[in-house]
Amino acid sequence: MPAMVEPPFSNPPFSSKISHNLKSVHCSSQAPNFLTIRYNSRTTTACSGSAENIDPGAPVLLPHSIVFSRNPNFSSDISNRTTKDRREVVRLAWEKLVRWSRSWRSKAKTDDVLERTNKVVVLGSGSFGTAMAAHIGNRKSQLEVNMLVRDPQICRSINEKHCNIKYFPEHKLPENVVATTDAKAALLNADFCLHAVPVQFSSSFLEGIADCVDPGLPFISLSKGLELNTLRMMSQIIPRALRNPRQPYIVLSGPSFALELMNNLPTAMVVASKDKKLAKAAQQLLASTNLRISTSSDVTGVEIAGALKNVLAIAAGIVEGMNLGNNSMAALVAQGCSEIRWLATKMGAKSTTITGLSGTGDIMLTCFVNLSRNRTVGVRLGSGENLDDILRSMNQVAEGVSTAGAVIALAQKYNVKMPVLTAVARIIDNELTPQKAVRELMSLPQVIPIFPCSFFSAQSYNWGYNPWNLAGSELKIKGENLLVLVYIARRCLIFG
């Protein structure tokens, strides 16, 4: 009869004596059965017929490294019980999460913005503006959704065929989504306004309709980019163009393709506003079972990440078009993410925003998925096509092309080195070929990467800035932090 040993499911400290590792051994009058145990590279043989070295009351304290040579079903029993326990832990964790969610919802305010919203206007008839109009129209059948469009043909297709014939000819829009070319009629008595006009055309467009806009009408910006000549973000463009510095403003951003929104696929985005109540209102208006909306107060972080990720997507597309491989792609996107974070934090953004949904999440989607317009531009540039030919063949705006021109100016203004994004700008301006840009990026100095600290005030610490190589830059150190600098220097000497 084989020895019966009850296995443990934890790994507490255990005695070095093998006798303490056996809980019970059943003896019989037959020839003794032997249990061979490999323990710390040594083999010990225990006899089931001899109990002189066995403490029957000792607890089971077997480490996971013990291998039992008798009873082949023993290890499978342990595995099955371990799997069962693990599944139980996972089930309990999930139930706890569900209970927390229900509790949080029950405590949340029941003031539903959607319930008291009667009219929403969408400025622009592009793919994303159309997708958001459809989404809001589906949220409430009594809600009036007006799209202010410029193209009479698109206007007729929306009103007569209930589809955007240019971008979504096969997707039917809700009956409550209507289009008009009359700005005054579209904006009259609107509760919210979704701005989906490309950034480079926003100032002139808004200046033309400024007299029709109510000073208290909340604007939710869907546009991503920077104004080329002024380097302004949408949070600066909209109030200035409307001649109202107090115009309520929210920015919506995150990893989202218009086509997938139209297909009601699960999506998560962020609304950001300096007014927390306004961000909450936008969240209640837009959030649904298919669209998860988080709130933030970091308007700058959300906007700058949404603008510069388009430029990085062009770089990623160039790598793909040149067939440089996965190693190059990973290195380039990682470096680009760092450059975006460096600039954004210099502009006052939170680093957590850049590493979150509206930052890294949006970057991953735009850089790695073929539906991205900006990535497509990069792929074609990397394949050797001319930029003018690429842009002429596209029926949508790739904001990264215009935004890239603002990158160099921003880098100079905020004293930040941005090699990857600057290289994209130079390629677009025909100052570099993609092949030469790759060679120049690969030949940049390789220096010790040091995380920028609060007591460093340097003209340039990015792109692996090395404080010990001070050529071409200043390093100012506050006196009270001198000891900290000495400590870092010693660590670099030890581990560098």
Rounded Cα gap, residues 432 and 428, in angstroms: 8
H or E element, residue 295: strand 291-296
Cβ pair 474, 482 in contact under 8 A: no
- Residue 280 falls in the annotated catalytic set: no
Residue with tokens 């203004």: 413
CA neighbor of 424 nearest in space, from 410, 437, 443, 442 = 437
Per DSSP, 371 falls in state T
Rounded Cα gap, residues 336 and 316, in angstroms: 9
Cβ pair 56, 24 in contact under 8 A: yes
Which tokens go with 90? 């996972």
Rounded Cα gap, residues 439 and 185, in angstroms: 55
CA neighbor of 219 nearest in space, from 204, 197, 200, 208 = 197
- Cross-strand bridge partners of residue 476: 457
Per DSSP, 417 falls in state -
Catalytic annotation, pick one of 309, 350, 413, 417? 309
CA atoms within 13 A on the CB side of 383: 12
Rounded Cα gap, residues 297 and 280, in angstroms: 11
Buried b (16+ CB within 10 A) or exposed e, 370-379: eebbbbbbbb
- Catalogue the active-site residues: 309
